A and B are shown apart, each in its own frame.
Chain A
Amino acid sequence: MQRYLNKLRWASLWAVFAMLVILPLVSVYQVYVASHGYRLLSPLSKRFYDVMYFFTSPFTDDPANSLDVIKGTTWSGSFFGLKISDPLAAIGQVAASLDPHWPFLVTALIPIVFTIIFGRFFCGWICPATLLYELNSNVAIWLQKIGLPTGNLHFNRRLKYGVLALGLVLSAISGSVLVANIYPPAIVGRELYYVTALGGFGTGTIFFILTLLFDILVARRGFCRYLCPGGAVYSLLGRYRLFRIKRTVKTCNDCAKCNAVCEFALDPMRDDFGQECNNCSACIAVCPTQALTFTTSIRDIPYQGPGHLGHEFNKSGQDDLPGQVA
């Protein structure tokens, strides 16, 4: 059953992305309806109005007021009346204003609780930028295959905590939530709104394209792993997450497919998940012996040695290896 979680995750990522496209369209339609300005619309806008009317009229007679169940982006919004904000938005607000606005801070509680339980799940399951970054990773693999150079440099994973700290300090100095300008999910949400509702991209698009190029030319998923300020927040909150992936050493055959598919270049084959793992379950889906499963524990299991179905385990005397059950 857990093998299909990765498919569910892809469905979730596409659904969130689709939501970020559809919501601005609904918002524009609501404005048109509320302003009673159909005759003033351009021909293209009239066609858009008609299409939206076709899809929404079976559900509501009052689109201007009754299509508000989901609003906003993953940065901050309301979901069936529940106001939810990214923890980075809450921290950024405190830093920029130096005055906590409690009603807003409370909206970050649900994501914080979920992160404490499921770890950096936002990055793997919800972040709209992740969808594009993962598609981009596959493009990098294809470019490598056709002989074009791609980058696979490694940096210190703690770099992103420095980016977070610097972003917050600059936010405090400037009085503006500057971290939102370099936070890919906030940028994607904002730019999709700009292009859908306002008819053009903003400068955030340029920044986001640069992050895609950074991932291809410098480091695989480099922005998420080394620079994302939100990733830093989620990693810290999810350090002692309750749900984590564990390897069953008895059924592991050391094929290393889990390491190959891990977008964050972790080492599941050596039980190295740490606080970076976003529980995306790609390693579970690819494991041919079902040696990787979700478990409940607040710490990773220390390295258990090579898999018992692997060559290394069978070649050795089977006496000195850690994790071996006599």
Chain B
Amino acid sequence: MRLYRSFVLLLLLCTVWCVPVYAHHVIGRPAYSWNEDSNTPPSMQVDIQMGDYFITYMVFPAFPKPNEPGRINLYAKRIDNDKPFQGKVSFTVRDDSWFNKREERIGVQTVDDNVFRQRFLFRQPGAYIITATFEDRGVPYIIDFPLQIGPPSRIGVIGALVGIMVAVLIAVNVYRRRHLLGEKVRHAAHDRKKA
């Protein structure tokens, strides 16, 4: 019985003295849940290294749709001492199309539990570029991230061009396969005569 009491007392003491700890995700960022308010929600994630910073960018949901709210989480920590950036980050957006320069500001965010959270809501589907900008010790950091709203277009301008070229390459080579050798020899003879 005495042993039991001692054990209970020890447990109580442990409860009093224990240091409060926060749950952390395995990659070192705090994580409390798996919903959209989590710092590490199930989402599209991009990691890059830029200047003195290692930057992680997440979008929730992983496949955002038009007229549905979503959120960008940005986390930047210094490479040399692992200290998270504590300043302000501004977020802008532009269409990911050729020669488009028009940008729209989404917001400027201060740090919240070491993470910069930017909410968004897009009315139109499309491919967008989110630009996150911050400055540290006089050095500007400008990071572009792609953001796809709604299903991606199946084919772009370059894709169409490549498709046409591949189709022509294959069609000509298959359709003319029996004649190409003869034509090559005839053209070479013609070129020789011209020379």
Is B62 located at the chain interface by the 8 A CB criterion?
yes
Partner of A142, one of B158, B161, B172, B185: B172
Is A152 located at the chain interface by the 8 A CB criterion?
yes
- Please tell me if the beta carbons of A132 and B169 are within 8 angstroms of each other in the complex: yes
A142-B183, A201-B158, A205-B162 known; A259+B188 contact, CB < 8 A: yes
**Segment from A79-87, A133-141, A160-168 that makes contact with B:** A133-141
* Bound: A260/B189 CA distance, A: 8
- Please tell me if the beta carbons of B172 and A139 are within 8 angstroms of each other in the complex: yes
Please, which residues of chain A bring their CB within 8 A of the CB of B138?
A: none
Closest chain-B Cβ to A125's Cβ sits at a distance in Å of 19
Q: Mark A120-149, 1 if CB is under 8 A from B, else 0.
A: 000000000000100110110110110000
Please, which residues of chain B bring their CB within 8 A of the CB of A37?
A: 42
Which residue on chain B has the smallest CB distance to residue A286? B181
A40-B42, A138-B172 known; A209+B165 contact, CB < 8 A: yes
* Bound: A302/B144 CA distance, A: 60
Is B5 located at the chain interface by the 8 A CB criterion?
no
Please, which residues of chain B bring their CB within 8 A of the CB of A261?
A: 181, 184-185
Is A42 located at the chain interface by the 8 A CB criterion?
yes
Please, which residues of chain B bring their CB within 8 A of the CB of A286?
A: 181
From A42, A205, A260, name the one whose CB has the most chain B CB atoms within 10 angstroms.
A260
Partner of B180, one of A42, A142, A256, A257: A142
Please, which residues of chain B bring their CB within 8 A of the CB of A195?
A: 159
Is A1 located at the chain interface by the 8 A CB criterion?
no
Please, which residues of chain B bring their CB within 8 A of the CB of A209?
A: 161-162, 165
* Bound: A141/B170 CA distance, A: 14
| Cβ < 8 Å to A, chain B residues 138-180 | 151-152, 156, 158-159, 161-162, 165, 168-170, 172-173, 176, 180
* Chain A binding surface SS class: helix
Is B192 located at the chain interface by the 8 A CB criterion?
yes
* Bound: A132/B172 CA distance, A: 12
* Bound: A209/B170 CA distance, A: 15
Partner of B169, one of A139, A200, A259: A139
Q: Mark B24-36, 1 if CB is under 8 A from A, else 0.
A: 0000000000000
Is B63 located at the chain interface by the 8 A CB criterion?
yes
Please, which residues of chain A bring their CB within 8 A of the CB of B63?
A: 42
Q: Mark A180-206, 1 if CB is under 8 A from B, else 0.
A: 000000000000000100011100011
- Please tell me if the beta carbons of A141 and B169 are within 8 angstroms of each other in the complex: no
Is B88 located at the chain interface by the 8 A CB criterion?
no
Is B112 located at the chain interface by the 8 A CB criterion?
no
Is B187 located at the chain interface by the 8 A CB criterion?
yes
* Bound: A175/B180 CA distance, A: 45
Q: List 26 A-B contacts (CB under 8 A).
A: A40-B62, A42-B151, A132-B169, A135-B170, A135-B172, A135-B173, A136-B169, A138-B173, A138-B176, A139-B169, A141-B180, A141-B184, A142-B183, A144-B183, A144-B187, A145-B183, A195-B159, A199-B152, A200-B156, A201-B156, A205-B162, A256-B188, A256-B189, A256-B192, A259-B188, A260-B187
Q: Tell me the A residues contacting B by CB distance below 8 Å.
A: 37, 40, 42, 132, 135-136, 138-139, 141-142, 144-145, 152, 195, 199-201, 205-206, 209, 212, 256-257, 259-261, 286
The 4 closest A-B pairs by CB, nearest first: A260-B188, A135-B169, A260-B185, A201-B158
Q: 20 additional contacts, CB 8 Å, given A139-B168, A142-B176, A200-B159?
A: A135-B170, A138-B172, A138-B176, A138-B180, A141-B183, A142-B180, A142-B183, A152-B191, A199-B152, A201-B158, A201-B159, A205-B158, A209-B161, A209-B162, A209-B165, A256-B185, A256-B188, A261-B181, A261-B184, A286-B181
